[in-house]
Amino acid sequence: MEPRHGDDKPHTPTPSIWPVGFAVGIACILAGLVVSTPAVIAGVVIAVIFGALWARDAMRAGRQEPAVPAAEAPTTDEEEPDQYPRNVFLEMTTLALGGVITAIVSVPIVGFAILPAFTKQEAPGVDLGPVDNFPEGEWIEATFLSEPSLGEVSARTAFVRFNGTVSGEPSYTIISNRCVHLGCPTSPSGPKNEEERKTVEVENEEISLTPVLPAGFSCPCHGGAYDTEGNRTAGPPVRALDRYLFAIIDGRLVLGDRYSVGEVVGEGARAEIHSYGLQGPGEHVDGLSGWLYPIQPQDLR
């Protein structure tokens, strides 16, 4: 039996979707570095599975040998033009598509990861004045401008308590007054001594310091309530009140960045603070719910 036309050509493997799946897995890994750890794990699993299948097909293609025709077809003087196999074209197209997808996902991620190092060279700080303004064990309500150039729109309030020293280091509890339900201002649930209110001028900016005696903190908007460590005790808030980092510089209390808190165990200098990166109002910071709110592009200070 004579071989049919085309039977003397070697069979090459058909193109597959393995390269596309592998590219998707790499994209998930890159996105997960910013989004959340589960996304990274999912990306690794996808990349490993599709990469293994892709490698298996590649090795199988390398082991195949051209079929030996039963009889030589008659030759002609005309040379047949070189043909570019369709499966090779589709494979290269698939790889190019995977590369484009990876670039689309990775370029913004790399930009967000690298640019802040060049655009924010100095850590924010608000000078609240000499540490003598904050007696040990007493609460002081401090009102200040987080961005003086923006004016009153950047007015912020923090509740400050000096807890004494631990191992020779000063300890302060500095709680933000912004309710973590919708961002409304909370107030101390207790008397406020307006008569002893003090105004401190720092670099041509006025800082207001008012002694308060809170039994806790409450939000008048939707009934959110917190204890003196900022833990939620009632109402719709989903976590504890945010806190401020601080530093003592030349005998002055300087506020740093604000950060979110899931829970505070204990009190004062001995408190164990479950801290997280700053999140917006209404957003969980721990557990499964915390994975739903991974990115905060806006400035939440």
> What residues does each domain of the chain span?
18-73+85-119, 126-290
CB–CB of 263/231 below 8 Å? yes
pLDDT of residue 112: 59
Helix axes 18-32, 37-63, angle to 10 degrees: 160
Q: Is residue 224 helix, strand or coil?
A: coil
pLDDT band at residue 41 under the 50/70/90 scheme: confident
pLDDT of residue 151: 75
Residues of the chain with pLDDT > 90: what percent?
32
Contacts of 60 (CB under 8 A, 6+ apart): 13
pLDDT of residue 229: 94
pLDDT of residue 110: 62
pLDDT of residue 298: 44
pLDDT of residue 118: 52
Contacts of 187 (CB under 8 A, 6+ apart): 177, 217, 218, 219, 220
State how far the Cα of 259 lies from the Cα of 281, in Å rounded to an integer.
Answer: 12
Is 3.50.50.60 the CATH classification of the domain at 126-290?
no
Longest dimension (CA), the chain: 112
Cα–Cα distances (Å) from 171 to 63, 91, 157, 217, in that order, read: 69, 62, 19, 21
Q: Is residue 158 helix, strand or coil?
A: strand
Q: What are phi and psi of 14, to 5 degrees?
A: -75, 150
Q: Nearest CA to 190 among 158, 210, 215?
A: 215
* pLDDT tens digit sequence for 13-28: 445 677 777 888 888 7
Residue type present at position 235: G
* pLDDT tens digit sequence for 262-294: 999 998 888 999 988 888 888 888 766 666 555
* pLDDT tens digit sequence for 56-101: 776 665 555 555 555 555 555 555 555 656 666 666 776 677 677 7
